[in-house]
Amino acid sequence: MVGLVRPAEIDDAGAIARIHVATWRTAYRGMLPDDFLASLDEAAYAERWRRILLEPSSRVYVAQGGEGVVGFASGGRERAGEDGYEGELYAIYVLDEAKGRGHGRRLVQAVVAGLREMRLGDMIVWVLRDNHPARSFYERLGGVYVRMQPITIGSTLLQEVSYGWKTLDAITY
């Protein structure tokens, strides 16, 4: 079905890993070294996602286009002890060829429904500082800039910034 977002099942781990690796390679080209991006191992990610999907507390959702699974997102309890935030959007990735069709918005809606189920009333998300398209997406959804901090990915030192919504009702879909 086109435009459907549903909770991910264990059998989606392979598709999620494929999207994870493909979108990292396009979204982070120029930010992370080519050899690092080339070395991302789909099978290892599939195993990691399988483990995540087996955790009863995990909230992972996939977006389906006519061509199958084209995006995924996950969220849950805020992980790093950020003051003032209990909920977090951990990851959201939509294949390049499926961008701009509302999958990202619907995936955020699904994660937010998951946060509400967990009685979490706000949301923070971290994004690489130079990932301008994703930052624009969060700004479009009403995210308010919180702060910047360094992050090491592989052996590359980068900066990441966070956007927050003090209440889930403040998300401007």
Judged by the rule CB under 6 A, the positions of this chain that interact with ligand COA are 23, 27, 92-94, 99-105, 127, 131, 133-134, 136-137, 140
Minimum distance between the CB of residue 5 and ligand COA, rounded to whole angstroms? 10
State the SS3 of 24-92.
HHHHCECCECHHHHHHCCHHHHHHHHHHHHHCCCCEEEEEEECCEEEEEEEEEECCCCCCCCCEEEEEE
Q: Which is nearer to ligand COA, 77 or 99 (CB)?
A: 99
Quick one: tokens of 141?
A: 């959804």
Minimum distance between the CB of residue 39 and ligand COA, rounded to whole angstroms? 19
The CA-CA-CA angle for residues 73, 78, 79, to 5°, reads 100
Q: Which is nearer to ligand COA, 122 or 163 (CB)?
A: 163
Measured from each CB, the residue nearest to ligand COA is: 104
Q: Which is nearer to ligand COA, 46 or 143 (CB)?
A: 143
The half-sphere exposure of 173 on its side-chain side, counting CA atoms within 13 A, is 12
Minimum distance between the CB of residue 56 and ligand COA, rounded to whole angstroms? 25
Minimum distance between the CB of residue 130 and ligand COA, rounded to whole angstroms? 11
